[in-house]
Amino acid sequence: MRFLLSNDDGILAHGLECLERAAAPLGETWVVAPDREQSAMSHSLTLHHPIRPMRRGERRWQVDGTPTDCVMVAVEALLPERPDFVLSGVNHGQNMGEDVLYSGTVAAAMEGLALGIPSIAFSFAGGELRADASLLEAQIPLLTTLIRHLTQLSWPGNTLLNVNLPPLIGPHVQGVRLTRLGQRYYSGSLKPMTDPWGRTVYWIGGGSATWTGPADSDFQAVRDGFVSVTPLHLDLTHRELITDAGTWWRAPALP
Ligand code: MN
């Protein structure tokens, strides 16, 4: 089994090291990861300057690009053969609900999927990772079991799995739930500030998040102490609205 590992927190991130340690007993691991933090880069691709891979050891490359760049250059150029799975993360922080639209961690898995490789994104729903690092470290055996199990399932080819780990010591994790995306509302996350020239600028970040969603949603599973596994596909088409087109849609009359 050959695994390509990437992330959006950068090649030095503790979460990536934990993922590597968890996957190593199961097969050959290749790490191709950004040289710096690329969180919230979503699925962006670097088009306007070249990207330079730097070898950082055996089967280990650092790339001055986004998570999407890393997976693309890894699969198309750096690895001698295609990986069997792309594993992304473990992200420092949850990726639930609408987070998946901004997440570089999920985007790396999306890129794997777009290249036809089954892919799994892992995120750790802890607070400040520095404080919670030992919690994630204690989940490495659980993560190995999870990777072994998930990679043996036969999920449909157009799907990636988005996994969120609860911030608990390994034995306190309650189990694994199959979930759907919940909804998250941020408040106070746009901070007006004054720049050195007296102009108003805004810093996006911080604030507080409120979660809602059904009992089988991702955040509820994590809140209940479970690992959340959400199957995602890349087709954003709202199929029901096409089926129900008669209730709302009419084509415009062109001049
Ligand atoms: Mn991140």
Rounded distance from Cα 59 to ligand 1 centre (Å): 22
**Tokens at residue 228, please?**
């959340």
Give me the pLDDT at residue 128, please: 62
Rounded distance from Cα 94 to ligand 1 centre (Å): 9
190 in a structural domain: no
Rounded to whole angstroms, the Cα distance separating 36 from 11 reads: 7
Rounded distance from Cα 106 to ligand 1 centre (Å): 9
Rounded distance from Cα 247 to ligand 1 centre (Å): 41
Contact indicator for 65, 76 with CB cutoff of 8 Å: no
198 in a structural domain: no
Give me the pLDDT at residue 209, please: 82
Q: Which domain holds residue 31?
A: 2-184+213-246
pTM of the model: 0.94
Mean per-residue pLDDT of the chain:
93
Rounded distance from Cα 245 to ligand 1 centre (Å): 39
67 in a structural domain: yes
Give me the pLDDT at residue 127, please: 67
Average pLDDT over residues 1-5: 98
Rounded distance from Cα 15 to ligand 1 centre (Å): 9
207 in a structural domain: no
195 in a structural domain: no
Rounded to whole angstroms, the Cα distance separating 68 from 42 reads: 8
Q: What is the CATH number of the domain that holds 21?
A: 3.40.1210.10
Count CA atoms closer than 13 A to 99's CA, side-chain side: 29
pLDDT band at 210 (very low <50, low <70, confident <90, very high): confident
Q: How many domains does the chain have?
A: 1
Rounded distance from Cα 164 to ligand 1 centre (Å): 13
pLDDT, tens digit, for every residue of 108-165? 999 999 999 999 999 999 866 666 778 889 999 999 999 999 999 998 999 999 999 9
8 in a structural domain: yes
196 in a structural domain: no
189 in a structural domain: no
Give me the pLDDT at residue 7, please: 97
Rounded distance from Cα 201 to ligand 1 centre (Å): 24
